[in-house]
Amino acid sequence: MVTRTKIPFTVERMSKVDTAWLRMDSPSNLMMIIGVWIIKPGVTYRAVCDRIEDRLLKYPRFSQRVQLDATGASWVTDNNFRIKRHVLREKLPASAKKHPEQELQQRLGELAVQPLDARYPLWDFRLVEHFDGGSALLVRIHHCIADGLALISVIQTLVDGGTDPPQRAAHGTHPHGWEAAEDWMSHTLIEPLTVAAIKALEVAGDGAVHAFEAIGDPRNVLEKWLESGLSKGKAGSADVARLVYQVLRDGAALALMADDSPTRLKGVPGVVKRVAWCRPLPLDEVRAVSKALRCSINDVLLACVAGAMAQYLKGFGDAVLGKEVRAMVPVNLRPMSQAYKLGNQFGLAPVVLPLGLDNPIERVYEVRRRMSELKGSMQPLMAFAMLAIAGVLIKPAQDAMLNLFSKKTTAVMTNVPGPREKMKFCGATLDQALFWVPQSGSVGLGVSILSYGGGVQFGLISDTTLCPDPQAIIDQFGPEFEKLSLLTMMLPWDD
């Protein structure tokens, strides 16, 4: 067993955005990121405890509990921290031998609605030591600790060959596997919006880091931009004027966006969840289709999501012509070299997916058109600022503010890059990695897309009142991509 030194006692004020995520929990939607690793061959409980204690606790946040007060919350060192309180053993029912995947999905759905114990740090790992010829590691981490991309950085330190966060920060390097991930990231929604937002902030003169500090107190944002522009003279003032106009335009678009189409996937959620996943799509095939159609990998994947949802609704006899659903997509707002600092630094981009287009190629081009319109938008940054504002409001006011957006949304969808090569964990192969994002307010559907080990993995979590069988949607992803791939090959390409 690893012997750790005593954890030094610290008290650290929680950021306004992280406070907003902490208080967003509801009976229908707990703000936990949940995931599962399928590991082959199996690993032992002791090895997992040793690895997590040795690596994860290098991040102080994972040994800190939350302490609430009248004005917000603080991170306080847990003097009674016990690794066995956070790394637990799980046993699936005997029927898991015949249907291991179904039983694992059932258990993950149960854990998705069980709150973490607020007396201790808000995370746990649960090891199923004997699962389908290997092991399964179930993960739950509260969103107030970190966003998805930051947690990917954390996960990279847990695998064999991972480095400590201080070393990674000091040398400016990426953890094992991120070099491959960055090529994938250039094809996702994340980079164009992030670059546009940061460049816009740099035009204002403060630079991205100082701008985010300003957003911590959103009332001062425009004042800082205007002061910076005036100090630069006419040219700077013109840049700031254009930026202010874009902020006001995109802020109005975010605040006044219309409801998306009513479907059976939208409504008042209950308190029971289900998770589902499918076999990964080969990343090289997805990339080949995207190059042939001159669109991004992200366009292809989003078009498949739209097609899968449409097929699900048609299965109930629902009309989809002219209908569209809005998915809120997290957009990273910091360099990956800073992800080890944890916390939440992302905005939200409203992506509207067309359901009524039967032709897969026509659907891809429509998705590409809509995504092009979003590039350069300040809406993700505005959403980040709104979360900061929500974090200083009393909880009822925060709920009312954020529910305005959840009512206009059908799903939350994430697209996260991972390494191309499969990683090792405690000497075994991390064969499959899946995760599901939390939904807020009345949103009942979460879609996750993760690239890993040469494949693209789709995962779904749903409220059973609105979507009792998420596997029925997931099972359409493969056929939708196959139709798109076949039609792409049949196009009259020039020699």
Instruction: Concatenate the DSSP letters of all residues of 123-158 into one string.
Output: EEEEEEEEETTEEEEEEEEETTTB-HHHHHHHHHHH
Q: Mean of the pLDDT values across residues 166-186?
A: 39
Distance CA 213, CA 239 (A): 21
Helix (H), strand (E) at residue 207: helix 207-215
- CA 231 to chain CA centroid, Å, is 39
Angle CA 487–493–495, to nearest 5: 150
Distance CA 368, CA 361 (A): 11
Angle between helices 221-232 and 207-215 in degrees, nearest 10: 140
Question: What pLDDT score does 15 carry?
Answer: 87
In the 8-state DSSP scheme, what is residue 434? Answer: E
Q: Is 279 left (phi over 0), alpha (psi -120 to 50) or beta?
A: beta
Indicate whether 8 pLDDT > 80: no
Residue that wins the pLDDT comparison between 389 and 109: 109
Enter the tokens of residue 475.
């099972």
Q: Mean of the pLDDT values across residues 152-166?
A: 80
Question: What pLDDT score does 231 carry?
Answer: 53
What is the tens place of the pLDDT at every residue in 255-287? 556 778 899 999 999 999 999 998 899 999 999
The whole model's pTM is what?
0.81
Distance CA 442, CA 436 (A): 17
Residue bearing tokens 């992803």? 477
Q: Mean of the pLDDT values across residues 461-472?
A: 95
Q: Can you list the alpha helix ranges (DSSP code H) found in 391-453? A: 395-406
- Mapping DSSP to helix (H, G, I), strand (E, B) and coil, where does residue 484 land? helix
What is the tens place of the pLDDT at every residue in 350-368? 888 999 999 999 999 999 9
Question: What pLDDT score does 240 carry?
Answer: 55
Task: Indicate if 258-374+401-421+437-490 has the same CATH topology as 11-177.
Answer: yes
CATH, range 258-374+401-421+437-490 = 3.30.559.30
In the 8-state DSSP scheme, what is residue 489? Answer: H
What is the tens place of the pLDDT at every residue in 9-20? 778 899 888 888
Helix (H), strand (E) at residue 354: strand 346-354
List residues bridging with 90 in a β-sheet: 128
What is the tens place of the pLDDT at every residue in 393-442? 566 666 666 666 677 889 988 887 778 889 999 999 999 999 888 888 88
Query: From start to end of 367-483, where are the E strands?
Result: 411-416, 424-425, 428-436, 445-452, 455-463
Cβ count near 201 (within 10 Å): 24
What is the tens place of the pLDDT at every residue in 198-250? 444 444 333 333 434 444 443 344 444 445 544 555 555 565 566 555 555 55
Question: What pLDDT score does 198 carry?
Answer: 44
| Contact by Cβ (8 Å): 378, 246 | yes
- Confidence bin at 157 (pLDDT 50/70/90): confident
Q: Mean of the pLDDT values across residues 361-377?
A: 84
| Contact by Cβ (8 Å): 296, 370 | no
Specify the CATH number for 11-177; select among 3.30.450.40, 3.40.50.720, 3.40.50.11780, 3.30.559.10. Answer: 3.30.559.10
Cβ count near 324 (within 10 Å): 18
In the 8-state DSSP scheme, what is residue 445? Answer: E
Which of 108-122, 195-209, 367-381 is least confident? Answer: 195-209
Question: What pLDDT score does 259 carry?
Answer: 79
Indicate whether 50 pLDDT > 90: yes
Distance CA 158, CA 492 (A): 48
Cβ count near 372 (within 10 Å): 13
Cis peptide before 41 (omega within 30 of 0): yes
Domain boundaries, the chain: 11-177, 258-374+401-421+437-490
